[in-house]
Chain A
Amino acid sequence: MAINIKESEEIVEDVLNIYPEKPRKNRQEHIGVNKKDACGSCVAKSNLKSLPGVMTPRGCAYAGSKGVVWGPVKDVINISHGPIGCGHYSWGTRRNLANGVPGVENFMPFQFTTDFRERDIVFGGDKKLEQAIHELKGLFPTTKGFVVESECPIGLIGDDIEAVAKKTSADLNTTVIPVRCEGFRGVSQSLGHHIANDSIRDYVVGTGKLDDSQKTKYDVAILGDYNIGGDVWASMKVITEMGLNVIAHWSGDGSIEEMRITHEVNYILLHCYRSMNYISNYYNEKYGIPWIEYNFFGPTKIKESIRKIAALFDEHIQEQSEKVIEKYEPKMQAVIDKYRPRLEGKKVMILVGGLRPRHIVGAYEDLGMQVVTAAYEFAHSDDYERTTKELEDGAIVADDLNEHEFIELAHRLKPDLVASGIKEKYVFQKMGIPFRQMHSWDYSGPYHGYDGFEIFAKDMDLAINSPSWKFVKPSWKK
């Protein structure tokens, strides 16, 4: 059933009524009702400061740099530089799966921190950092480098981590990359992505070489896939079957070794535009490598993406690609036949980071479900430009949707499923609304690629149709 635009507008109006004039004026610019032909930023303003004192879903620049972009690079040691907390909270909590022997080829299961104490705040931490890198090199000689992620105090006490990086990298003949991702910078994780991209530009891009004999005309790099629950492996399976040669993938199951040779590829395939468009643009500017966005959620979008990618290449790849589609379509139809009758017409509200609220719409639609709200934590106007086209008219689009607004919208929209993060999960489950975490795939996954869609469909079904929801009201009160 089509969404009633007027009704949606009234709902938004109603939810905003709780605010006094000033915050109301602020928030109404961030929440709008979708029209496919409307400009994105006309529907929702973005990348602006959050209101103090409200439960914003947002994180910080450190979370964007360490947690998202650099964290999954498995063969370097990420040092959380500063006090104990940030490194602790971002330790193993994003499900970036990685192959490789822990401690030798893969440092993902570790949490390295300089653990600032009062004396470091007072006297500065540069010496400690230098010493830390030396000690780590001794303990983990196989590491391919170090990434130093600054926490809030570093930028406030005037430490010179760039100088330390320069010195230690010379002394130890290794790569040391300073990242100025103090949590107070910017308004969300998003600036952290940008800062991390810039550090990749300054310290990594072009530093390796792929032997000419190893090069093919089908060499590509996958960027912006973080291998949550194995996403990148599921995606690579499809891309490899198309006949393409994945030379590098970041940062999920990624390595600095691959990052160094990425400039040798012919095309960059970009999944998470929000977090890696910066570096993709740089490759394009500096090396003339074209990049193309693709979407591997759900068979409709996967098919579109396969054809879009194949069109960049020759007939051989195009033929192969059609064979891939042919091979998987019946399997996908079987998945749809199994789950669609159980999910048809179910309404979904989404609040995730900067990509999925638009990217995953097609996967829900493949299952006959309807996205009635797509909200972002930290998207920019270019994300909203891409969003309006993906959503039905009348769906609510929201930026930096806070917990109060989210709950109030849910009261009015009565979704069958809420798809968001751990902070939101139990709020909605207490309300008796089925929920899936869409940052971590709720400890399931992958959701990317053909393999992923089957798991996605199963998970949405088990969330919505679990018999356990029938017991929310006591039998004697029904």
Chain B
Amino acid sequence: MAKMTKEEVRQTKDWMKTEEYKELNFKRKSIVINPERACQPLGAVLCSAGFEGTMPFVHGSHGCVAYYRNNLSRHFREPIAAVSTSLTEDGAVFGGQANGFEGFKNCLNLYKPKMFAISTTCMTEVIGDDLGAIVNNARAKGFLPEDVPAPYANTPSFVGSHIDGYDNMLAAIIDTLGVKGESVSDVINIIPGFDTTTGNINEIKRLLTIMKVPYLVIADYSNTLDSPLNGEYKLYNEGATTLEDTKNCVNNKATIALQKFSTKKTIALLADKFKQEAKAVKSPVGIKFTDEFLMAVSEITGKEIPKEIEDERGRAVDSMTDAQQYIHGKKFAIFGDPDILTGLTSYLLEMGGIPKYVLCSNGNEEFKNDVEALLKEYGCDEGEVYIDKDLWHLHSLVMTGPVDMLIGPSHGKFVAREAGVPHIRLGYPIFDRVNIHRYPFYAYSGVINLTTWIVNKFIEIVDDTSDDAHFELLR
């Protein structure tokens, strides 16, 4: 085959930026290209990292676990512990029970977990291994002591995405550990959802402390995945949700989840089985959703929102009005997980920005309706919402209808480069910038952070591209 000439290469590249190509691209049904979506067990491993002394125990090949550990480590820049049952061909033929038994035994001996959080892979789902039976048989045969809880969740990679794996694992843990008591405490449960911004969790805790609200964060990895460097490696870091607290969490006054799509099953479990007041709020991104979150807390607990927080809010609004001129009318393409996108859409609209493309590889109709309602509320008729689409679709969108900025995980950088526009990293995963996950984009502090990142990026571009005459001191 002859080598393409430079001209042929350029022509092909140019064709990929056309309406004609976009049409062809949107017609495809059987191939997914650059999806911003991972598989369920990754979410299960993340969730497990939020519990005291817990070892994520993945039933399947160790290759899967190597991938989850790599992926999460690259984002958090932290050690991620997880084991597998190291299944091979014979496991495919005879089932994975024997490896399960041996896995429990070896893991208990080496890593002494207080709890196993068991999830599955597509292999064990396809061969039809019965986790309940494996756990029961392991207990009966003495491989798994009675005092080590072993909640298990089916997390097939061919259903849903990482956010569902998080939800399934969390529901299993609460279902297994939770013991309904007689009395109800004053504590409210906070469930962050699949949120890999540890700064968000810390920010919510800080606000609840200011409000003097007793709270329990369930699946709290804000410390375990942001642990101090002090010369000692701890397999199980301090600060995760304790098993005792998890047992009692069903007796707490209420549960608020900070994400809706990654906690559906868990919220339903708490409400239906444990008869708890449990609900998800919109992720507190931007002023409006933060107000709503605080009002929900206030309503449930009877605690007033103090002046200190009102002042914080005022400072955030001040930062917005100071900087809104740089965002007003600017067009954004945003992508990532559904809850973050809903919040981000709201924030951008509050700033007068135009969320031109809101693209979610793992969003459903409900998500689409939520975002479209927001667009309508602000009279933004330029916004388009795409579900079950990938970043190659996004490529076609921004090449045919340009935007000023991309906001989303690192994978979007290829589209941003093609489009020649800046890309602010937000969500999961972030592999190519440091420390972003330590800064909240939730609540009023988050408003200031988002505004800082977005606006200063726009200003930097003006500085970088202006001629001498327009290279001004004032911006």
Distance in Å from the Cβ of A478 to the closest Cβ of chain B?
Answer: 12
* Residue B276 is within 8 A (CB to CB) of chain A in the complex: no
19 extra A-B contacts, CB within 8 A, seeds A56-B86, A84-B35, A430-B231:
A18-B109, A18-B110, A52-B85, A53-B86, A53-B106, A60-B62, A60-B63, A82-B122, A83-B122, A88-B37, A112-B31, A116-B122, A152-B61, A152-B122, A155-B92, A156-B123, A183-B123, A423-B73, A431-B231
* Residue A120 is within 8 A (CB to CB) of chain B in the complex: yes
Q: Which of A24-78 contact B (CB under 8 A)?
A: 49-63
B106 touches A51 (CB 8 A): yes
> CB-CB < 8 A to B37: which residues of A?
84, 88
> CB-CB < 8 A to B82: which residues of A?
55
Interface size (A, Cβ < 8 Å)?
89
19 A-B contacts (beta carbon < 8 Å): A23-B109, A53-B106, A54-B83, A59-B66, A62-B63, A83-B122, A83-B156, A85-B38, A85-B39, A104-B13, A111-B34, A116-B158, A407-B233, A423-B79, A426-B77, A430-B79, A432-B230, A472-B230, A473-B230
> CB-CB < 8 A to A79: which residues of B?
31
Q: Which of A53, A84, A89, A472 has the most chain B CB atoms inside 10 A of its CB? A: A53
> CB-CB < 8 A to B121: which residues of A?
152
| Contact code string A125-169 (vs B, CB < 8 Å = 1, else 0) | 000110110011011011010000001110111000000000000
Minimal Cβ-Cβ distance residue in B for A256:
B1
**Given A105-B4, A121-B158, A57-B31 contact (CB < 8 Å):** no
Q: Which of A67-123 contact B (CB under 8 A)?
A: 79, 82-86, 88-93, 101-105, 109-118, 120-121
| CA distance in complex: A85, B57 (Å) | 17
* Residue A328 is within 8 A (CB to CB) of chain B in the complex: no
> CB-CB < 8 A to B34: which residues of A?
91, 110-111
> CB-CB < 8 A to A117: which residues of B?
158-159
Q: Which of B150-185 contact A (CB under 8 A)?
A: 156-159, 161
> CB-CB < 8 A to B127: which residues of A?
156
Partner of A139, one of B28, B83, B91, B109: B28
Minimal Cβ-Cβ distance residue in A for B157:
A83
B73 touches A187 (CB 8 A): no
Minimal Cβ-Cβ distance residue in B for A424:
B79
A23 touches B232 (CB 8 A): no
* Residue A287 is within 8 A (CB to CB) of chain B in the complex: no
A101 touches B9 (CB 8 A): yes
> CB-CB < 8 A to B106: which residues of A?
23, 51-54
A52 touches B103 (CB 8 A): yes
* Residue A368 is within 8 A (CB to CB) of chain B in the complex: no
Q: Which of B409-429 contact A (CB under 8 A)?
A: 411, 414, 418
* Residue B74 is within 8 A (CB to CB) of chain A in the complex: yes
Q: Which of B223-239 contact A (CB under 8 A)?
A: 227, 229-234
Partner of B123, one of A23, A138, A184, A423: A184
> CB-CB < 8 A to A60: which residues of B?
61-64, 66
**Given A53-B104, A60-B62, A152-B122, A90-B67 contact (CB < 8 Å):** yes
> CB-CB < 8 A to A421: which residues of B?
70
* Residue A425 is within 8 A (CB to CB) of chain B in the complex: yes
| CA distance in complex: A63, B89 (Å) | 16
* Residue A389 is within 8 A (CB to CB) of chain B in the complex: no
**Given A54-B106, A111-B34, A404-B111, A88-B39 contact (CB < 8 Å):** yes
Distance in Å from the Cβ of B39 to the closest Cβ of chain A?
Answer: 3
Q: Which of B58-78 contact A (CB under 8 A)?
A: 60-64, 66-71, 73-74, 77-78
**Given A111-B35, A132-B31, A156-B123, A430-B100 contact (CB < 8 Å):** no
* Residue A429 is within 8 A (CB to CB) of chain B in the complex: yes
Interface residues, chain B, with chain A CB atoms under 8 Å away = 1, 3-4, 9, 12-13, 16, 21, 24-25, 27-35, 37-39, 41-42, 57, 60-64, 66-71, 73-74, 77-89, 91-92, 99-100, 102-107, 109-111, 121-123, 126-127, 156-159, 161, 227, 229-234, 392, 411, 414, 418, 431
* Residue A467 is within 8 A (CB to CB) of chain B in the complex: no
| CA distance in complex: A22, B69 (Å) | 27
| CA distance in complex: A120, B106 (Å) | 35
* Residue A290 is within 8 A (CB to CB) of chain B in the complex: no
Partner of A184, one of B42, B88, B157, B161: B88
> CB-CB < 8 A to A129: which residues of B?
30
**Given A91-B411, A112-B31, A114-B31, A54-B107 contact (CB < 8 Å):** yes
Distance in Å from the Cβ of B113 to the closest Cβ of chain A?
Answer: 10
6 closest residue pairs by CB, A with B: A60-B63, A85-B39, A53-B103, A52-B103, A53-B107, A89-B67
Distance in Å from the Cβ of B155 to the closest Cβ of chain A?
Answer: 10
A93 touches B70 (CB 8 A): yes
**Given A51-B86, A101-B13, A135-B30 contact (CB < 8 Å):** yes
> CB-CB < 8 A to A116: which residues of B?
122, 157-158
Partner of A104, one of B12, B24, B70: B12
| CA distance in complex: A429, B227 (Å) | 11
A89 touches B79 (CB 8 A): no
Q: Which of B62, B106, B111 has the most chain A CB atoms inside 10 A of its CB? A: B62
> CB-CB < 8 A to A101: which residues of B?
9, 13
> CB-CB < 8 A to A403: which residues of B?
81
Minimal Cβ-Cβ distance residue in B for A116:
B158
* Residue A186 is within 8 A (CB to CB) of chain B in the complex: yes
> CB-CB < 8 A to A104: which residues of B?
4, 9, 12-13, 16
Distance in Å from the Cβ of B452 to the closest Cβ of chain A?
Answer: 26
> CB-CB < 8 A to A110: which residues of B?
33-34, 392
> CB-CB < 8 A to B99: which residues of A?
52
| CA distance in complex: A84, B16 (Å) | 25
B31 touches A85 (CB 8 A): no
